[in-house]
Structure 1
Amino acid sequence: MINVAIVGCGNWGKNYVRNFREIPDARLLVCCDKDEARLKAIKERYPFVRVTRNFNEVANNPKVDAVVIATPPVTHYPIARTCLLRGKHVLIEKPFTVSTEEADQLVNLAEKGKRVLMVGHILDYHPALRQLKEYIQSGELGRIYYIYANRTSLGIVRDDVSVMWDKAPHDIASLLYLLDDEPVYVAAKGQAFINSGIEDVIFMTLKFRNDIIANIHVSWLDPCKVSKTTIIGEKKMVVFDDAEALEKIRIYNKGVNRKNGNGNGNGNENGLAGAVNGNYSNGNGVHPDGLNGFPEFQYTYSYGDVYIPKIKMSEPLKNQCLHFLECIREQKRPMTDGINGLTVVKVLERAEDSLRSNGEYVAIEGTGYGLHSMQKASFVARARSLWRGFRLEKIF
């Protein structure tokens, strides 16, 4: 039985309280929050759970094995650092930290202390997202062209972090998971309409090494609550709409193919060059029909069926909590570990740089970690090791 404490029991933290109270393999020992009314409500519902406003009662309690941190982002680092130094396993809500320096230090502490450090990138534990990853890896969608995600709502407007740090971590983490890759460039444009200096709408573009581009739109100022991701592939297109109660994924058997004058779909590499040089023949000495355009650059459009797969749903947050406990019991590295959180924070920092540079593209340096024998390994290589069940001792 793993004894768990939760620090921060507000709008999102209360969901952690519910889950860890219901999971048989965990004992919710302590709940900590500054709001007396929240603690009173928890005590009334769960009378055997200890409540406190004093964080030290969590950090210094030898019975507490693991701590879940669901407090404002600027407090994540000091709380997590204290817990790790006290030998606790730690699960931190997104964003992991508000700087790569803080994230880097927490990763170091967890590795040295051989503690589990996990970040709450909840969509990575969503059954629908896992299904999307299978479609991409199987090649069913063909080569991925681009991805765009919309995450909008009317509020909740915050005054401690921008909407980018509040909402975009979800989609950045999802892209890392789906593509098994890190972006190399980021550009961001946004505006602060409500609170000066705190953007409440952001448009972000990420470029990946394999020519995939991704766009993320996040906003607190939108009449519609939207949580949707669209993937455009060479063969098929997929929409993941988390707001849908049942039909969360739709697969569209649609696409565009270019064909050359001989009817194959590979295109004619010389056709455009010939046209530029004034040679308007189709390569066989025959001039194209002006009404139909150049045969070398005709296109075929496929309009197939729309398929809605059946997905066995389970609560993503519960899946995340169960994975955290599993990693503690089996000494496994979490799927969304500190390195994963560090990568997301690094993207956010570079996006901030782009915002201050009028939306220019900014390079994102890799997050291969240079401490131990894995100093040259990339995030992707390390993430793949998770599924092999490596023990922490073997990694460090």
Structure 2
Amino acid sequence: MFQTVRNAFKVADLRKKILYTILIIIIFRLGSAITVPFLDPSVLKSIVTSDNSFLGYFNVLTGGGLEKATIFAMSITPYINASIIVQLLTVAIPYLERLQKEGEVGRKKLGKITRYLTFVLALIQAVGFFFLLKSNNAVEYSTGWEVWFTGIIIVAAFTAGSCLIVWLGERITQKGIGNGISVILFAGIISRAPQAFSTLKSMWELGGQGQWQNYIYVPLIVVIFIAMIIFIIVMTNAERRIPVMYAKRVVGRKMYGGQNSHIPVKVSMSGVMPIIFATSILSIPSLIAQFVNVQEGFWLHFFQVFRYDSWGYAILYFVLIIAFNFFYIAIQYNPIEIANNLRKNNGAIPGIRPGKPTSDFISRVIWKIAMLGAVFLGIIAVFPIFFQMATGAQIALGGTSIIIIVSVALDTMRALESQLTMRKHKGFLE
């Protein structure tokens, strides 16, 4: 990895792209330190730290910007939700499905629709955050006519900050290295690394004050963290290759085909999307609980099931991840279309007849790999929850955060390597 980065810096245009990406990340981190007016950050921090699912999850994605009441408090969560909605609608709306198949022009139109929807969702989410903060006395002027003025300012700041982050991400995609939105998300999560080290240090110091079990938990957490990174790297790169043979055909005086190839089916086909889907669904009861403020009775026990540190939440989380993984793959991969494309190009899977037998075989392979990938995502996501419930020690960066960090790092390295390969950089090829 370090060799790739060093070789990339030797190429002038790649060096400019890397420095441009770093500049955008610096701007993002500076914006994460600018607080929104008329909000009390101390009250907001107490709300976020006391919540174990909804606001805590968003605080991780924003790199701590939510608990500090900054203009980037909502980060790219509206864009993620808008992207998910657009992807789902492409299955139900023929117009969007046609755009998806129109190549670069269609993708640009879908991107424009996603940006418009991002603004709408950011505005709705900002209004929801304002009323949530107002109900928890985090707004300085929450009575009289001042509440309308402060509300407009707070909502506008949150909405503009979220839209600005999307714009910064698009600048990285166009002029920098890697997928801009992913890089922004990576920068926000990785910025919490010092806090994670501080938590481990505090746990170690408590070991000398009578809590001797921390001398076991701290090294154990470090080992688990390293093991999870290795496991995620292995599973992210793992794939099943379906062999394909192309028949020879003569066109004029030239012969085409006759070579062997394969269809790669990755274990982690859906990435972190199922985790984001599942977290979004399970965060709804926590959001409702913030408004209704139930103190006793059935609904109190009901909302406690959806707390991050409960067994019910962990089980539902695991089940939803598996379900959404299958759902996401179902809308992204069409075995019938793959089989038809193979037949049109005179390709066939050895031992499998073209047509329906081929589509059935591809479908069986995809669903088996999908099950393996779903279980992998579920284990990574719920393991920190079970570890915290069993030991009381908390892993500062959860499974979702680690998956995002490792995936973005691998994708960025692949982007650099592909750029170097295209330029036939001597140092890289050697």
Q: TM tier, shorter chain?
A: under 0.3
The structure in which a higher percent of residues are helix is 2
User: What's the TM-score, normalizing by structure 1?
Assistant: 0.24
User: What's the TM-score, normalizing by structure 2?
Assistant: 0.23
